[in-house]
Amino acid sequence: MTVMTKADQGAGTAVQAPELAREGNPRPALMSVEDAKALDVGQMAELFKAHLNPGQLHFMKLLGFHKVKVERAEGMYYIDQNGRKILDFFGGFGSLAFGHNHPRILEARQTFQAEKRHEIAIAFMSQYATALAHNLAACSPGDLDMVFLGSSGSEAMEAAVKLAERAAGPKRPKIVYAENSFHGKTKGVLALTDGQLYRGEFRLTDNVVRVPFGDIEAVENAFRSDPEIGAIVLETIQGGGGIIEAEPEFWQKLRRLCDEYGVLWVADEVQCGFGRTGRFYAFEHYGVVPDITALAKSLGAGKAAVGAMIAKRDVYMKAYGSPKTAMIHAMATFGGIGEACVTAIEGLNVLYDEALIENAEATGAYLIERLNALKEKYPRIIKDVRGRGCMVGLEFQDFSQTLPAVMRPMVAMLDDKLKGSLSGFVGAALLRDHDVLVAFTEYNRNVIRLEPPLIVGREHVDTFVDALDALLSRGVVSIVKDFARSQMG
C-alpha cells in the first residue's frame, strides 16, 4: 500500500477555486480501519511526520522507539510486529494500573456496547455518571464527595483551579504553586506548570505565586505577606520534577496553615493517585485531606479518557451551589460519557477486588529494594533511588562522574548539556537489547521514571532489574559506543 500525504497529492498542481454548484460531496482519500492496521513502521513514520509531530519523531528515532509497531498488548506486555514481548515499566505515565486489556474491563465495555447503552445524555441524568461519582466519593476520605467528570488530567485540574478561585472569592484570586511542578498543558493550568519548555511564549494568567516544593516556611511567608492568596496547588508527589516527595511534616503543617489563613488546598493526584503509591490517594500517607483533588490517567482503566475533580461539599456549594451558578462550570459534552464511566466503574471495583493497591505497595517496595542494591553496586552511575509503591525515580549521576577519573575534569564542563543523555542511552538499550520499556522525567532529565501497572509481580521486577544490572555492568563507555553504533545502523 502506498501512503500519500496531502503534499504529495498536491505537488506541482495549481489550486483552483471550488465550484459554486456541486452535487454531493466528493469523497476524500480516506484510510480504512484495515488500512491503518496494515501500516508498517516506515509508513507510520511518514504519516507521523506529515500530520502529527515531526520534531517528536526525531526523539523517537534517537531512542529507537520508531522501530516498534505495537500489534497488540496484554497484561504487562506490548507485542510488536515481530511477536516480541516488551515489558512495560513505562505504564503510560501512570495510566495503566490494570495493565493492558484487563479481561474484566474488556467484558464491561463489550457488554455495554452489545446492549446499545447510551453514551451522551446531556439532557438527562446518566446512571453511569452518577454511579461513578458515588464510587469516587466512597473512595475519598473526609468530606471529599462532590465530583466533576471530564476527559483528562488537564481538564480535571482546570476544574479544580476554577473551583478554588470561585470559592476563595474575588478578593483572594492568587494561587500558590511549586517549583518544578506539572499540572497540565492547557492554558489555565499552564500558569501553574513550572516548565519554560511548556510555557513557551504563551501569555498566561499572572495571579500566581511560586514557592520551592516542600518548603513550608516559604509557604507560610507567602500566606502571611499576601492576603490575596486564596489557594495553593501542589502535586503530592512531583512526577515531572523527578519523583520528588516532601517530608511528611510538610503536609501536616500545610493543612494547619491552610486552615489558619483560610487558603484552599488543591492536591493534584492525577499521576500519583489511584492506588499507585500504596494508598488510593498519595496524601493519605500523611493523615491529611485537601479541600479539592483531581484524578485521571488510570481512572480510565487504560481503555477510556476519564478525569475527575473531587471536592469538599462546602467548597463546591460555595462556588456552584445555587441554580444561578450551577452551570458556570458544568460537565462538558464528553464529561460523563457512558462507556467511559462504565469503564471507570469497573476499574475501581477491580482495583479493590484484586488488591492492586496493596500489590503496588508491596511490589513497589521490592522494586526499590532491588534498585538500591544496584545503587550500592554501581555508585558511580546511580545517584539516587526514590519514590513510593509503583512510582519510582532512578537518578543517574552527571555524565562526567560515571567516567574514568582522567576524563572527568574535561567532561564536567559539559554536564549540563549532557543531562539526560545517559538515561536516554540506558532507556534505548533496555528496549533494544532487553525488551523493556521505561520512561523519563520532564525537568530532571537524569531520572528514569518507573510507573509499571499495578498488576506488576516480583518476577517482572526481577526481569527489569536483572536487565538493568546486565546493562550497567558493561560500563558507561560501552553503553555510549553501542548507542552510537545503533544510530549509524
363 and 457 Cβ atoms separated by less than 8 Å = yes
> Where residue 230 falls among pLDDT bands split at 50, 70, 90?
very high
**C-alpha cell at position 249:** 511534616
Whether 113 has a pLDDT exceeding 60, the answer reads yes
**C-alpha cell at position 19:** 465550484
Vertex 201 angle, CA 198 and 207, to 5°: 85
- Would you state the pLDDT for residue 417? 74
- Would you state the pLDDT for residue 399? 76
Q: For residues 279 and 189, what is the distance between their CA atoms, to the nearest angstrom?
A: 26
- Would you state the pLDDT for residue 280? 98
- Would you state the pLDDT for residue 347? 98
**To which residue does cell 483560610 refer?**
262
Q: For residues 351 and 337, what is the distance between their CA atoms, to the nearest angstrom?
A: 21
- Would you state the pLDDT for residue 415? 65
Q: Which of 256-270, 296-310, 326-340, 361-375 has the lowest mean pLDDT?
A: 326-340
Q: Per mean pLDDT, which of 147-151, 193-197, 418-422, 472-476 is the most reliable?
A: 147-151
Nearest alpha carbon to residue 178 among 190, 164, 193, 168: 193
- Would you state the pLDDT for residue 191? 96
**C-alpha cell at position 232:** 495553593
DSSP bridge pairs for 388: 391
> Where residue 236 falls among pLDDT bands split at 50, 70, 90?
very high
> Where residue 18 falls among pLDDT bands split at 50, 70, 90?
low
Q: How distant, in Å, are the alpha carbons of 6, 18, 21 from that of 24? A: 22, 13, 10
Q: For residues 318 and 366, what is the distance between their CA atoms, to the nearest angstrom?
A: 45
Q: What percent of the chain has pLDDT over 70?
A: 94
Q: Which of 87-96, 126-135, 190-199 has the lowest mean pLDDT?
A: 190-199
- Sign (positive/negative) of CA torsion 344, 346, 352, 356? negative
Torsion of CA 212, 194, 239, 78, to 10 degrees: -170
Strand, coil or helix: 282: helix
- Would you state the pLDDT for residue 268? 98
- Would you state the pLDDT for residue 24? 82
277 and 265 Cβ atoms separated by less than 8 Å = no
Q: For residues 398 and 391, what is the distance between their CA atoms, to the nearest angstrom?
A: 22
Q: For residues 63 and 485, what is the distance between their CA atoms, to the nearest angstrom?
A: 13
Q: For residues 179 and 181, what is the distance between their CA atoms, to the nearest angstrom?
A: 5
Listing DSSP states for 59-100 in one string gives HHHHHTGGG--EEEEEBTEEEETTS-EEEESSHHHHT-TT-B
- The rounded Cα 281 to chain-centroid distance in angstroms is 15
CB atoms within 10 A of CB 180: 20
Half-sphere CA count of 37, side-chain side, radius 13 A: 4
Over the chain, what is the mean pLDDT? 93
pLDDT tens string 345-365: 999 999 999 999 999 999 999
Q: What's the whole-number mean pLDDT along residues 146-153?
A: 97
pLDDT tens string 248-276: 999 999 999 999 999 999 999 999 999 99
Which pairs with CB-CB distance under 8 Å and at least 24 residues apart come from 477-483?
A: 477/403, 477/404, 479/422, 479/425, 479/426, 479/429, 480/425, 482/429, 483/425, 483/428, 483/429
381 φ/ψ angles, rounded to the nearest 5 degrees? -105, -45
- Would you state the pLDDT for residue 19? 60
Amino acid at position 245, single letter: E
pLDDT tens string 451-479: 999 999 999 999 999 999 999 999 888 88
> Where residue 488 falls among pLDDT bands split at 50, 70, 90?
confident
Q: For residues 1 and 354, what is the distance between their CA atoms, to the nearest angstrom?
A: 44
- Would you state the pLDDT for residue 15? 55
Whether 449 has a pLDDT exceeding 80, the answer reads yes
**Is beta strand 307-312 parallel, antiparallel or unpaired with respect to 77-80?**
unpaired
pLDDT tens string 399-426: 777 777 767 776 777 667 777 789 999 9
**C-alpha cell at position 482:** 553501542
Whether 439 has a pLDDT exceeding 60, the answer reads yes
**Is beta strand 144-150 parallel, antiparallel or unpaired with respect to 208-211?**
unpaired
Listing DSSP states for 471-486 in one string gives HHTT-HHHHHHHHHHH
- The rounded Cα 412 to chain-centroid distance in angstroms is 32
**C-alpha cell at position 251:** 503536609
